[in-house]
Amino acid sequence: MELLKNAILERGYVVGGDILKVDSFLNHQLDIELLNEIGKEFSKKFEGESITKILTAEVSGIAIASIAAQYFKVPVVFAKKSDSKNIDAETFDSQVYSYTKGRYYTMKVSRKYLDREDKILIIDDFMANGKAASGLLEIIEKSGAKLVGIGVVIEKGFQTGGDEIRSQGIRVESLAVIDSMGLEGVTFRE
């Protein structure tokens, strides 16, 4: 998606060689017009899939999923994160390791909002090592819902998460895949 790649090149920047900061349009300030184009692009990619719900994770997936959901005409459910390891009988939980924080956290979705009739599209801002996506996959599996696929705004193609998940036969659609990045800039996969 050219508009997104241009935003990354012009308004993103790389910190310390491996962190891409997109705070100016995706993660802190939100460029709602760009998010609309991203939403439209996801709806084209997953057209005809009769999706019933979009699942994402707090915090940074929420705006993207909400704007995209308008094109699918479905509700959004966002997984809540907590440091607590209590397994709540009323939630589907997954333990997820965060490399950024250096610890596990629990992702939770209330059992009320996912069931075996649902066809779920996961939407998230980043895919890197795939830990967060795997947490959402585990929650969907526990709920008995059907997974349609995963829509990712920015995939770090030089990390293994996306390809590991694809190798399980899961459809992953990333709107921009970064092959390499560093102080010299960002290179996208063609």
Distance, CA of 77 to CA of 152 (rounded, Å):
16
Bridge partner list, 178: 156, 188
Q: In the range 104-133, which residues lie near a second copy by CB under 8 A?
A: 109-110, 112-113
Residues 13-72 that bind a second copy (CB under 8 A): 23-24, 28-33, 35-36, 58-59, 62-63, 66-67, 69-70
Q: Which is nearer to a second copy, 71 or 97 (CB)?
A: 71
Q: Between 49 and 164, whose beta carbon lies closer to a second copy?
A: 49
Measured between alpha carbons, how far is 53 from 77 in angstroms, rounded to an integer?
A: 7
Tokens of 143: 């709920």
**Least distance (Å) from a second copy to the CB of residue 110?**
6
Distance CA 122, CA 147 (A): 8
Give CA separation, 155 vs 35, 49, 80, 124, 158, in Å.
16, 22, 22, 10, 9
Specify the residue, 23 or 117, whose C-beta has the smaller distance to a second copy: 23
- The answer to whether the beta carbons of residues 131 and 99 sit under 8 Å apart is yes
Residue (20 or 74) nearer to a second copy, CB:
74
- Binding residue (CB under 8 A) for a second copy from 18, 47, 80, 82: 80
List contacts with a second copy (CB under 8 A): 23-24, 28-33, 35-36, 58-59, 62-63, 66-67, 69-70, 73-78, 80, 109-110, 112-113
